[in-house]
């Protein structure tokens, strides 16, 4: 085989490689973590304070993954009805599968979230709540 044919084959291989990389990068879907990330960044000190408040609690909201549900439990003998908050299930790989659920504990301080609301995969479960004038925030990685 002559040098001309080898250079031509090498050049065609290079062009195919670059073309396939351009195609892959053009069809790859990249999403922002949040559409209002700038506004969230401005209020991040509030999030830091809420995390510190949660870490200062003797007992905090716990969760248990069961086969068909996620069970959140508010600790202690206090009532969870005076809590205001939400649970966000953030799916890093697909924003369309994110779910936001209002916090609604029953009289036994338990909230059950059925897994059928969520697709299988990895989620970042963010629990943010307010009791009185104090805010709290907790985050866990879970796999459904």
Give pLDDT tens digits for 111-136. Answer: 899 988 888 889 999 999 988 888 99
Confidence grade of residue 43 (pLDDT, cut at 50, 70, 90)? confident
Say how far apart CA 56 and CA 71 lie, in whole Å.
Answer: 23
Mean pLDDT (the chain, rounded): 86
Query: Is the overall model pTM greater than 0.75, yes or no?
Result: no
pLDDT at site 33: 64
Say how far apart CA 57 and CA 74 lie, in whole Å.
Answer: 12
Closest C-alpha to 99, from 76, 115, 81, 75: 115
Alpha helix ranges (H) inside 28-79: 37-42, 44-55
């Amino acid at each position: 085989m002559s040098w001309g044919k080898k250079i031509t084959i090498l050049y065609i291989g290079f062009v195919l490689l670059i073309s396939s990389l351009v195609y892959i990068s053009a069809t790859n879907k990249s999403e922002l973590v949040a559409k209002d990330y700038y506004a969230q960044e401005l209020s991040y000190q509030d999030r830091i304070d809420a995390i510190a408040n949660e870490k200062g609690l003797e007992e905090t909201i716990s969760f248990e993954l069961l086969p068909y549900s996620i069970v959140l439990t508010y600790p202690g003998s206090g009532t969870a009805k005076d809590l205001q908050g939400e649970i966000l299930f953030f799916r890093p790989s697909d924003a369309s599968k994110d779910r936001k659920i209002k916090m609604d504990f029953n009289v036994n301080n338990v909230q059950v979230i059925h897994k059928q609301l969520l697709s299988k995969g990895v989620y970042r479960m963010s629990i943010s709540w307010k009791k009185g004038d104090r805010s709290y925030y907790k985050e866990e990685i879970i796999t459904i």
